[in-house]
Amino acid sequence: MKKILVVDDSPTARMHLTNLLDSKGYHISTASDGEEALQKAAQEQPDLILLDVVMPGANGFQVCRQLKADAATKDIKVILVTSKNQKSDRFWGLKQGADAYITKPFEDAELLQSVASYL
Amino acid sequence: MAKILDAKMIAGFAQEIQSYLPMIRQGIASFGADANQQEALQEALRYVHTIKGASAMVGLSVLSQVTAAIEETLEEIVAGRYPIDAERSVWLGQTVDHIENNLEGLLSETVCEETIVTAVTQLLQRCTGRAETSAVPPEVAASETEAELAADYWVDTWDEDGTEAGTVSEAPPATGDAEPIHTPEPEPPAEVATAPVETETPAASEAFEMEEELTFGVLFDAAEVEIEDEAAPSESQSEAPAQAEQQTETPPVMPGALDALINTIDSEVQQVYGQGITARVQHTSRDGVSTLERYLLFSLAGCRYAVAVPNVIEVGRVPAITPVPNVPVWLRGVINLRGEILSIIDVRVFLGIDEGYPLESSRMLVVKSVQDEIVTSLIVDQVNGFARLSKARLEAPAIPVQDKVTPYISAVCEHEEHIVAVLDLERLLLSPEVCQFDEA
């Protein structure tokens, strides 16, 4: 069973993503900020991380860079999920090493498809 | 995009938003009372952004729209484009009140969209000093001008003699009338590089700011075509018409221009980062022959410099700077970039050139050393786009570009009739002066 780590500072967003993905049979764990995300990523070794960008403390760009720089976590797929939807945001987001960039709002089907393609 | 929200989720979300509202109000009030309270406002902005994102995710489009408008207003205030005084902070507070008072309706999507959007946007327009117009949701207005300016920008850019074509109010041509680049001969895009900044009129400047972000991709594309023609003359004959073909497919039609731009950026990112994740220096050009490295070009006091793209994390407008006491004059202070605190270095001053900032065209580069030890930000006079510079043509400086600058220049190269000095970023970032004050 594939493991997904959902990182977002909003409890509502975390709940929404958890419900959505859980119903498809993935095992979900969550983190509410960058520090927790890095910790859980190293510990639990998920197959995929859905990463918000604007968070208290370390932002998603920083976390992504760190994940990809660390040998323990660099092979975990990262999808940035954010409402920052400028073209430049996407460009720089991908430059941080993310595997994909999804903007909010998204169609649930679109997210599921993207998740499936990276697992 | 109707999504089913159960009662539990709505209750949870209501609670979450209620927990953010005092923080948002506090941030606005603090900043209204004391303009040094940057961080408080930044935090308010973050909470607003979070509400926007979460509501978008669960399909509450009215709430998402309204919070997007607040976010945009706060961003402009944070960037210093609009002041915030006691009166304006009251208006902003009223906007937040409006959301709280209508929260139930917003969460159940029963509130009348038009009345709340109108009320909020009018309040915000007062904040930013804009004339009170009819209730046009900010996102719609913004996207129209964005597309319009994209079209105008393309018209200006591809004018064959490189001069500024027409005015900003020129109507975008229809698909068929587009002027493509049909000659493979390199045209001097020096004017192209600076044209978008110069054609900025006061009226259009706000909306243009959004478009500005796109210019890098466009300039990159332009530079790409030129350099590859010069570097590989034998191959370019077959390549150039293909590339010219590509260019003809991107005529200034709105919103097609934006789509083409996205495709260009996407395919480029795919190329460079598709295979691997770590952004180390990529030497391969399109046909796989390793001759060219990619650089970001910028200007300081009229001279052109280049820094290797793998060292550059981000480019953007210079955010509000918090000065720090007892540091060298070239260290202007620190910035808060989405929660990350970075030093911001005035490169002109650091290199011993006279002070230039702030200029309308001043920009910030967020850079890192190759091994990721140092991350910091730089102020430059102007960003001139991307280019591939052939390694073979990078020479050690024979002509000193500027005396105090020479130690930090690793090579000099000619690019489109300019001398470009390649900045040795490693040396700069790892120099004792910078290391001492690095915040990373």
DSSP, res B322: B
Which of these ranges, A43-47, B16-20, B100-104, B174-178, has the smallest mean pLDDT? Answer: B174-178
Q: Reply yes or no on whether the pLDDT at B406 is more than 60.
A: yes
Q: Reply yes or no on whether the pLDDT at B20 is more than 90.
A: yes
pLDDT tens-digit map of B273-283: 554 433 333 33
Give contacts of B210 with chain A, Cβ < 8 Å.
Answer: 86
pLDDT of residue B22: 93
For residue B157 the two structure tokens come to: 């850019």
B440 touches chain A (CB under 8 A): no
H or E stretch covering B180: none
Three-state secondary-structure class, residue B383: strand
The number of CA neighbours under 13 Å toward the Cβ of A3 is: 12
Of B105, B71, B100, B84, which is closest to residue B28 (Cα–Cα)? B84
For residue A112, what pLDDT band results from cuts at 50, 70 and 90?
Answer: very high
Nearest CA in chain A to B9: A12
Q: Please measure the distance between the N-terminal and C-terminal CA atoms of chain B and give it in whole angstroms.
A: 42
DSSP, res B177: G
Q: Are residues A41 and A77 in contact, defined by beta-carbon separation less than 8 angstroms?
A: no
pLDDT tens-digit map of A12-58: 999 999 999 999 999 999 999 999 999 999 999 999 999 999 999 88
Of B84, B73, B60, B79, which is closest to residue B1 (Cα–Cα)? B60
Structure-token match 């102020």, residue found:
B379
Q: Reply yes or no on whether the pLDDT at B129 is more than 60.
A: yes
Mean pLDDT of the B7-28 span: 91
Strand-by-strand arrangement of the A77-82 sheet: A27-31, A3-7, A48-51, A77-82, A100-103
DSSP, res B290: B
For residue A80 the two structure tokens come to: 């940035």
pLDDT of residue A111: 93
Q: Do B316 and A88 touch (CB under 8 A)?
A: yes
Taking each continuous run of H as one helix and of E as one strand, the counts in chain B are 14, 10
Strand-by-strand arrangement of the B409-415 sheet: B382-390, B292-300, B303-308, B418-423, B409-415
Beta strand segments in chain A, E: 3-7, 27-31, 48-51, 77-82, 100-103
Distance (Å, whole) CA B141 – CA B128? 15
Give contacts of B139 with chain A, Cβ < 8 Å.
Answer: none
Q: Which residue has the higher pLDDT, B111 or B144?
A: B111
For residue B422, what pLDDT band results from cuts at 50, 70 and 90?
Answer: confident
- Give ipTM to 2 decimals: 0.92
Q: For chain A, give the mean pLDDT.
A: 92
DSSP, res B362: -
pLDDT of residue B340: 84
pLDDT of residue B148: 41
H or E stretch covering B336: strand B331-337
Q: Do B265 and A91 touch (CB under 8 A)?
A: yes
A118 touches chain B (CB under 8 A): no
Q: What are the residues whose beta carbons fall under 8 Å from the beta carbon of A81, sequence distance 6 or more?
A: A8, A17, A50, A51, A52, A102, A104, A106, A111
Distance (Å, whole) CA B164 – CA B156? 6
Q: Do A105 and B213 touch (CB under 8 A)?
A: no
CA distance B352 to chain A (A): 31
Give contacts of A52 with chain B, Cβ < 8 Å.
Answer: 53
Of B268, A23, B369, which is closest to residue A15 (Cα–Cα)? A23
pLDDT tens-digit map of B145-177: 444 433 333 333 333 333 333 333 333 344 444
Angle formed by the axes of helices A87-95 and A60-69, nearest 10°: 20
pLDDT of residue A81: 93
Q: Do A12 and B61 touch (CB under 8 A)?
A: no
Give contacts of B372 with chain A, Cβ < 8 Å.
Answer: 65, 69
B58 touches chain A (CB under 8 A): yes
Measure CB to CB from residue A92 to each of B3, B277, B314 and give the nearest one.
B314
Give contacts of B9 with chain A, Cβ < 8 Å.
Answer: 12, 15-16
Distance (Å, whole) CA A110 – CA A64? 22
H or E stretch covering B283: none
CA distance A113 to chain B (A): 16
Give me the torsion for CA of B264, B266, B272, B277, rounded to 10°.
170
Give contacts of A55 with chain B, Cβ < 8 Å.
Answer: 46, 339
- Mark which residues 11-70 of A lie under 8 Å from B by CB: 11-13, 15-17, 52-59, 61-62, 65, 68-69
Burial of B313 (0-12, 13-18, 19+ CB in 10 A): buried
Please list the alpha-helical segments (H only) found in B158-204. Answer: 190-198
A95 touches chain B (CB under 8 A): yes
Q: What are the residues whose beta carbons fall under 8 Å from the beta carbon of B39, sequence distance 6 or more?
A: B336
Mean pLDDT of the B190-209 span: 37
Mean pLDDT of the B50-76 span: 90
For residue B30, what pLDDT band results from cuts at 50, 70 and 90?
Answer: confident
Query: CA B142: distance to chain centroid?
Result: 16
pLDDT of residue B294: 87
pLDDT tens-digit map of B246-264: 444 444 444 566 666 666 7
Length of chain A: 119
pLDDT of residue B131: 53
pLDDT of residue B262: 66
Q: Reply yes or no on whether the pLDDT at B301 is more than 80.
A: yes
Percent of chain B with pLDDT over 70: 57
Structure-token match 């006061």, residue found:
B202
Q: Are residues B397 and B409 in contact, defined by beta-carbon separation less than 8 angstroms?
A: yes
Three-state secondary-structure class, residue B22: helix
Which of these ranges, B292-296, B342-346, B411-415, has the smallest mean pLDDT? Answer: B411-415
pLDDT of residue B48: 95
pLDDT of residue B31: 84
Distance (Å, whole) CA A51 – CA A82? 8
Distance (Å, whole) CA B203 – CA B201? 5
For residue A60 the two structure tokens come to: 């998603």
Mean pLDDT of the B335-362 span: 86
Task: Looking at mean pLDDT, say which of B203-207, B299-303, B399-403 comes out highest.
Answer: B299-303
Q: Rounded to 5 degrees, what are φ and ψ at B308?
A: -65, 135
For residue B241 the two structure tokens come to: 């018409």
Q: Reply yes or no on whether the pLDDT at B319 is more than 70.
A: yes
Percent of chain B with pLDDT over 90: 13
Q: For chain B, give the mean pLDDT.
A: 68
Length of chain B: 440
Q: Rounded to 5 degrees, what are φ and ψ at B340?
A: -95, 130
- Paired strand residues for B419: B414
Interface test with A, best of B46, B49, B266 (most A CBs within 10 A): B49
B338 touches chain A (CB under 8 A): yes
B280 touches chain A (CB under 8 A): no
Three-state secondary-structure class, residue B161: coil
Q: Rounded to 5 degrees, what are φ and ψ at B193?
A: -60, -40
Q: Reply yes or no on whether the pLDDT at B192 is more than 80.
A: no
Q: Do B214 and A65 touch (CB under 8 A)?
A: no
Q: Which residue has the higher pLDDT, B123 or B298?
A: B298
Q: Are residues B164 and B156 in contact, defined by beta-carbon separation less than 8 angstroms?
A: yes
From residue B3, alpha-carbon distances to B7, B53, B116, B404 in Å are 13, 15, 21, 62
For residue B394, what pLDDT band results from cuts at 50, 70 and 90?
Answer: low
Q: Reply yes or no on whether the pLDDT at B182 is more than 70.
A: no
Measure CB to CB from residue A69 to each of B49, B54, B372 and give the nearest one.
B372
Q: Are residues B56 and B79 in contact, defined by beta-carbon separation less than 8 angstroms?
A: no
Q: Reply yes or no on whether the pLDDT at B318 is more than 50.
A: yes
Q: Do B269 and A107 touch (CB under 8 A)?
A: no
pLDDT of residue B116: 84
Q: Reply yes or no on whether the pLDDT at B18 is more than 50.
A: yes
